[in-house]
Structures are given as structure tokens and as C-alpha cells.
Amino acid sequence: MSIFISDAIAQTGAAAGPSSFMSFLPMIALFVIFYFLLIRPQQKRQKEHKNMVVGLAKGDEVVTMGGLLGKIIAVDDNFITVNIAKDTDVKVQKASVQAMMPKGTYK
């Protein structure tokens, strides 16, 4: 019996080198897949949103993350003032703008 045990230990010791790398290979592949399917598109959306926020100007029609549709009447460093109805102006953070709408959407 001791012969079989020593043979089993010798086989495991010799095969431990290549199998340890092969055990990390699926984790590496999974990370690469997550990068291309989740991380990279999210970074792209963040960059587009940042460029949109920087480009906000008076007269643009926007939708906020709260769902308010309105026209920008004043732009500050961190805040914008949005006219959402006649005689109703709301001051919101620039980062809370979700999307710019085509001209003529807000009347």
C-alpha cells in the first residue's frame, strides 16, 4: 500500500506546476470578458455624459434624471436653471441632466 501512496504523491507534485497556471486561466478569461462587456461600455457612457454636461448652454432643451423636461435659461459652474413651465424655474446640478433633447421638444 505504501507504494501506491508514494506514486500518487509523486504524480501530484509533478503536475502541480502547469495545473496551477491552468486554474487561473478561466479567471483571466472571465475578467477579459467582463472588461469588454461591462467596464469599457460604462466608461464610454461616463465620458459621453461628461462631455454633454460640459457642453450645456443657454437655450438647450434637457431632461433631468428626475424626469423634468425644460429649457436652460442660465448656466453656472455647477448648476443650471431650467424653465419647466411658465414662470416656473428650477435650479439643478449640471450632473443631473440625463439627456439633451432636440430643439422644439419643449414648447
Over residues 23-44, the pLDDT tens digits come to 888 899 999 999 999 999 999 9
pLDDT score for 20: 80
Is 106 part of any domain?
no
pTM of the model: 0.69
pLDDT digits (tens, 9 = 90+) for 50-73: 999 999 999 999 999 999 999 999
The verdict on 65 and 45 lying in the same domain is no
- Rounded to whole angstroms, the Cα distance separating 92 from 82 reads 7
Is 88 part of any domain?
yes
Domain that residue 68 falls in: 57-101
- SS3 string, 15-62, reads HHHHHHHHHHHHHHHHHHHHHHHHHHHHHHHHHHHHHHHHCCCCCCEE
The verdict on 39 and 61 lying in the same domain is no
The verdict on 16 and 31 lying in the same domain is yes
